[in-house]
Structure 1
Amino acid sequence: MKIPIYPLKFEPIYQYRLWGGRKLENLLSKPLPDNEPIGEAWILSDRKDHSSLVQEGDLKNKTITSLMEEYRYEIMGKNGLYYDRFPLLLKFLDCKEVLSVQVHPSDHQKELLPEGDTGKTEAWIVLETGDDSKIFAGLKPGTNKENLVASIKDKSVSERLHSFIPKQEDAVFIESGTVHTLGGTVVFEVQENSDVTFRLYDWDRLDAKTGKPRDLQIENAIQSINFNQGEIGPVTPVIDNSIKNSEILFDNNHFKVWRIKNKEVFKVGFIDIPTILVCIEGKGSMNYNNQEYNISKGEVMLLPAIIGQLELLPNDEITLFQITIPDKNFN
């Protein structure tokens, strides 16, 4: 007999990154691996090599991959026709040092994508900054293929990139084809379910684990770049009066993201659409089928489409991101 599905929380998957640090232990309750820089916590991932595990309940230790096989329409609703794996990948990043200068291909550049993979449009929400915080996003005017390649050879790439000093709560949209990197920040990242990254430049550093520089993919990166992209800065949030104390940060073909800060009861989720809740501060609870489901700082919860709307009761004030996947019919 099939186990009824319910609001699902997942275990974070920690990833070593040479540019990472130890700050994610302040955000997540799961202990970090000892004595190595942790750059990423994948908090919802339907990747073959890293599939998120359900944290509690009757489906505990099931992967999101197996759930998408068994409960695809319960999870995805009307979009179940179009997705056989969960289409978003969610992460927390601790960028103690600056990442490589990189770019991701678009969905349409099939020749650059592994079979079955997509392009990678992503977005960041800044959670923490420091004295050395910096975001590089987009190209300065006058940058073209020739002078960008030349700047890689003479190590002056940063002079070709637009940059700004981020503030806490800044939200930055990185469309596929945008040259980008960041450092000195902790961010939440939402992206297409893709791990396709092409490095243009890696600051001539060595990986402490291998003693060697990381590989660059300059030719593929150049092919992926949208040279008409221009300079990218923080987005302007849009107030959404349909959800109490909320603002829309991103709304595109791949994901829609709200930031909600509330002390009073409010509704989360939508009818026939999967919704993801990511708690950044505080905690709260929801009731579904006469059972209480709690969410607290650093946790992610997937509300399958079949669940619809729930009321969330904050314990004092809660800050969370609510994320949905647009109806594929209208893309």
Structure 2
Amino acid sequence: MKIPIYPLKFDPIYQYRLWGGRKLENLLSKPLPAAEPIGEAWILSDRKDHSSQVLEGNLKDSSITNLMEEYRYEIMGKNGLDYDRFPLLLKYLDCKEVLSVQVHPSDNQKELLPEGDTGKTEAWIVLETIDDSIIYAGLKEDTTKENLLESIKDKTVSERLHSFTPKKEDAIFIHSGTVHTLGGTVVFEVQENSDTTFRLYDWDRVDAKTGKPRELQVENAMKSIDFKQGEVGPVIPLVDSAIKNAEILFDNDHFKLWRIKNREAFTVGFKDEPAVLVCIDGKGSLNYNDQEYHIAKGEVMLIPAIIGQLELHPEAEITLFQIAIPDKKFI
């Protein structure tokens, strides 16, 4: 007999990155691994090499990969036929230094993707900035394949990229094919469940761990770039009157994300669809089957589709992201 499923929280998976820092320790309220730069915390990941494990309850230490095998329809509901693995990858990024100039392929570019993998459309929400924070997103109007390649040789790539100074709470949508990078900021990232990235340029850095520069993938990057994609800036949030104090930041083929700030109880979750909650500030609780489940700053909670809608009760004000998944996969 199966163990009944319930609202699930997961342990973060930390990733060394030469451009990272130590700020995620405060966001997650947990000590980071040994004193090295941690650039990413994967807070919900269904990948063979990095599969999130349940933090507490009767399913503690179960991986999301195994849960998707055993509880796929309980988790995904009406989308159970469409997804054989959890379709999103959620992260926090601590970009102490500027990342490589990079691009991700689209779902349709099968020749550039590992077998069974998707393209990578993603989005960022800015959580922290410093005086010299910067985001590069999209190409300047007169950029072509030829002059972009020339700028790599000349080490003037940044002059070909649109850039702006981000502010806390900015939300930026990065469609596959968009050249991008960022630095001096902490962001939350939601993306397709893919880890395919092609580097165009890496600022001539040397990885302290290997003593060598990181590999570039210029040829595949050029194949992935959408040269029709113009300059990208912060999105304009849309007020959602159906949820008190909620705004829609992203709504596309791969995910829909609300930002909710509330002091009063409000409904989370969906009928026959999964929901993911990411708490950015504050804390709260919800009741399911006469048991209290708590969520606090930095934590992620997956509400399986079989559970449906629940009331979340904040302690003082809570800020969280609620994420929904489309009905059908677009690959």
Query: The TM-score by the shorter chain falls in which range?
Result: over 0.9
Counterparts of 1:102-117 in structure 2, within 5 Å, are 102-117=102-117
Partner of 2:74: 74
Q: Give the Cα–Cα distance (whole angstroms) in 2 for the partners of residues 132 and 197 of structure 1.
A: 25
Partner of 1:57: 57
- Given residue 142 of structure 2, which amino acid in structure 1 is its aligned partner? G
Deviation at 1:41, TM superposition (A): 0.2
Partner of 2:42: 42
Deviation at 1:30, TM superposition (A): 2.7
Q: Give the Cα–Cα distance (whole angstroms) in 1 for the partners of residues 221 and 329 of structure 2.
A: 31
Partner of 1:177: 177
Once the two structures are superposed, residues 207-242 of structure 1 have per-residue CA deviations (whole angstroms, 9 ceiling, x without a partner) of: 010010000000000000000000000000000010
User: SS state of the match for residue 28, structure 2?
Assistant: coil
- Given residue 39 of structure 1, which amino acid in structure 2 is its aligned partner? G
Partner of 1:248: 248
Q: Give the Cα–Cα distance (whole angstroms) in 2 for the partners of residues 263 and 115 of structure 1.
A: 46
User: SS state of the match for residue 97, structure 2?
Assistant: coil
Q: Give the Cα–Cα distance (whole angstroms) in 2 for the partners of residues 327 and 45 of structure 1.
A: 20
Are 2:217 and 1:217 aligned? yes
Partner of 1:285: 285
Q: Give the Cα–Cα distance (whole angstroms) in 1 for the partners of residues 291 and 91 of structure 2.
A: 28
Are 2:255 and 1:239 aligned? no
- Given residue 38 of structure 1, which amino acid in structure 2 is its aligned partner? I
Deviation at 1:31, TM superposition (A): 1.3
Deviation at 1:329, TM superposition (A): 8.0
User: SS state of the match for residue 39, structure 1?
Assistant: strand
Count of matched residue pairs = 331
Counterparts of 1:131-146 in structure 2, within 5 Å, are 131-146=131-146
Once the two structures are superposed, residues 72-102 of structure 1 have per-residue CA deviations (whole angstroms, 9 ceiling, x without a partner) of: 0000011110110000000000000000000
Partner of 2:150: 150
- Given residue 156 of structure 1, which amino acid in structure 2 is its aligned partner? T
Once the two structures are superposed, residues 276-308 of structure 1 have per-residue CA deviations (whole angstroms, 9 ceiling, x without a partner) of: 000000000000000000000000000000110
Partner of 2:265: 265
> Unmatched 5+ residue regions in structure 1?
none
- Given residue 112 of structure 2, which amino acid in structure 1 is its aligned partner? L
Per mean C-alpha deviation after superposition, the further-off stretch among 113-122 and 29-38 is 29-38
Deviation at 1:29, TM superposition (A): 2.6
Partner of 1:24: 24
Q: Give the Cα–Cα distance (whole angstroms) in 2 for the partners of residues 144 and 73 of structure 1.
A: 46
Q: Give the Cα–Cα distance (whole angstroms) in 1 for the partners of residues 202 and 132 of structure 2.
A: 18
Deviation at 1:112, TM superposition (A): 0.2
Maintained 8 Å contact 1:122/1:190: yes
Deviation at 1:34, TM superposition (A): 1.6
Once the two structures are superposed, residues 111-137 of structure 1 have per-residue CA deviations (whole angstroms, 9 ceiling, x without a partner) of: 000001000000000000001100000
Relative to the length of structure 2, the TM-score reads 0.99
Maintained 8 Å contact 2:277/2:320: yes
Once the two structures are superposed, residues 245-290 of structure 1 have per-residue CA deviations (whole angstroms, 9 ceiling, x without a partner) of: 0000000000000000000000000001100000000000000000
Q: Give the Cα–Cα distance (whole angstroms) in 1 for the partners of residues 73 and 171 of structure 2.
A: 31
Relative to the length of structure 1, the TM-score reads 0.99
Are 2:163 and 1:168 aligned? no
User: SS state of the match for residue 31, structure 1?
Assistant: coil
Q: Give the Cα–Cα distance (whole angstroms) in 1 for the partners of residues 13 and 270 of structure 2.
A: 27
Q: Give the Cα–Cα distance (whole angstroms) in 2 for the partners of residues 173 and 286 of structure 1.
A: 30
User: SS state of the match for residue 128, structure 2?
Assistant: strand
> Unmatched 5+ residue regions in structure 2?
none
Q: Give the Cα–Cα distance (whole angstroms) in 2 for the partners of residues 212 and 75 of structure 1.
A: 43
Once the two structures are superposed, residues 147-167 of structure 1 have per-residue CA deviations (whole angstroms, 9 ceiling, x without a partner) of: 000000000000000000000
- Given residue 145 of structure 1, which amino acid in structure 2 is its aligned partner? K
Partner of 2:195: 195
Q: How many percent identity over aligned positions?
A: 81
Are 2:135 and 1:125 aligned? no
Partner of 1:324: 324
Maintained 8 Å contact 1:12/1:30: no
Maintained 8 Å contact 2:107/2:330: no
Q: Give the Cα–Cα distance (whole angstroms) in 2 for the partners of residues 210 and 10 of structure 1.
A: 31
Q: Give the Cα–Cα distance (whole angstroms) in 2 for the partners of residues 288 and 72 of structure 1.
A: 20
Maintained 8 Å contact 2:139/2:160: yes
User: SS state of the match for residue 81, structure 1?
Assistant: coil
